[in-house]
Amino acid sequence: SRAFNFSAGPAALPEPVLRQVQAELMEWQGERASVMEVSHRGAAFVECAAAAERDLRELMAIPDDYHVLFLQGGATTLSALLALNLAGPDQVADFVLTGHWGEKAVDNTQPSMKVSIAASSKAGGYSDIPARDGWQLTPGAAFVHYTPNETIHGVEFHDIPDVGGVPLVADVSSNFLSRPIDVSRFGVLYGGAQKNLGPSGLSIAIIRKDLLGKHGRALPPIFELLNQANNDSMFNTPPTFAWYVLGLVLKWIRAEGGAAAIGERNARKAAALYAAIDGSGGYYRNPVAPAARSTMNVPFFLPDAALDKPFLKEAEAAGLLGLKGHRAVGGMRASIYNAMPEAGVAALAGFMADFARRNG
């Protein structure tokens, strides 16, 4: 039987979505074939793809002057493509680092343009967000890149930083559509779908239209994001199955009440889990500054690393999966994305209290 899955990604999907996929797997929309077996250029898939885009635009209130691209290659490939597409080689990208994934984005940008680290909380073990008044932004930078939610370190921005008129580029892989967001404050929002929105294999980029096509580089046509934008993300074969599942997840989010309702539920889940940690009399510990704690990924430590193995083994037996922390950080991590029900968090909190009682 299915367990509560706290994996950081690919992550849990809503059960009604999985049931619908199962019901439609052999025959989809009267096509006498599955969605995986029909042309992406046929009427049925084109409508399925367009519906997903419409729903994403509605749920996130994406203004008309933004492209929405559905691509392969994950957030990692997108970070490299954005560096090639948003600026020329002599321009500067500023980075604000609050964890592992910001560093990776730097690695993927550096070969293509100049990079400046405007701020970093690395010295403090990425347990906080660098104070805004200390950011060393480059005048005339092509963009400022940051990671609103750092999946491994469990650090999240709870507001959108003001960087003047410079386009803000945000890797929202691990908090995509986790609550309402003002898209118009960004140049680009991008991320993999496999945490909050669907299966792996699909990445999504929301790009202000005026930012594309100005880099002045000779790019292979497939790396030119404007080509995807001008071809409804079908410049080549898109990840059709993942795109279809995304569409179902978006319909599920709508049925759950949309971004506002999902955001309120996510906030309640996070509050319950942090209360379990903070209320454990110091048994469990979350290292992140309270104002920067993530609502999506909650790392926590037991009083002794020797307890990690028994904790994980007993958690699995209790139907709580995927709690092992990232190897870079250690300890535990509970990822509580959109599809995690409140009952899952309550079950985890109950298990944690019981484990602490028995191993205190």
Catalytic residue ranges: 101, 171, 195
Is 171 known to sit in a ligand binding site? yes
Q: Is the dihedral of CA 102, 117, 72, 226 positive or negative?
A: positive
Under rule CB under 6 A, which residues in 252-311 are in contact with ligand PLP?
none
Specify the residue, 101 or 351, whose C-beta has the smaller distance to ligand PLP: 101
3-state helix, strand, coil in the chain (%, to 5): 40, 15, 45
Q: Which of 96, 68, 117, 64 is nearest to 168 (CA)?
A: 96
Q: Tell me how far, at minimum, the Cβ of 18 lies from ligand PLP, in Å.
A: 21
Choose, by CB under 6 A, the member of 98, 121, 173, 196 that binds ligand PLP.
173
Q: How many CB atoms lie within 10 A of CB 150?
A: 30
Of 141, 92, 150, the C-alpha closest to 121 is 150
237 labelled ligand-binding? yes
| Structure tokens given for 299 | 């790392």
Q: Does 174 bind ligand PLP (CB under 6 A)?
A: yes
Whether residue 77 is annotated as binding a ligand: the answer is: no
On the CB side of 243, CA atoms within 13 Å amount to 27
Query: Does residue number 171 form part of the binding site for ligand PLP (CB under 6 A)?
Result: yes
Separation of alpha carbons 219 and 198, rounded Å:
30
* Site map (CB under 6 A) of ligand PLP, residues 56-95, x = contact: ------------------xxx-------------------
Q: How far is the CB of 9 from ligand PLP (least distance, A)?
A: 5
Q: What is the dihedral of CA 56, 58, 62, 67, to 10 degrees?
A: 50
Is position 228 annotated in a ligand binding site? Answer: no
> What is the DSSP secondary structure assignment for residue 325, as one 8-state letter?
P
**Least distance from ligand PLP to the Cβ atom of residue 345, Å:** 20
What b/e string do you get for 86-99 counting C-beta neighbours within 10 Å, with b at 16 or more? bbeeebbbbbbbbb
CA–CA–CA angle 292, 266, 2 (5° rounding)? 120
Each residue 182-201 as x (binds ligand PLP by CB under 6 A) or -, in order, gives ----------x---------
Task: Select the span of 23-31, 33-41, 167-175, 351-359 touching ligand PLP (CB under 6 A).
Answer: 167-175
Sites for ligand PLP among residues 215-254 (CB under 6 A): none
Q: How far is the CB of 79 from ligand PLP (least distance, A)?
A: 7
Write each residue from 93 to 122 as x if it is in contact with ligand PLP (CB under 6 A), else as -, in one continuous string.
--------x---------------------
- Answer for the pair 96, 145: CB distance below 8 angstroms, yes or no: yes
Residue 236 among known ligand-binding residues:
yes
Residues that bind ligand PLP (CB under 6 A): 9, 74-76, 101, 147, 151, 171, 173-174, 192
Binding positions? 41, 75-76, 101, 151, 171, 194, 236-237
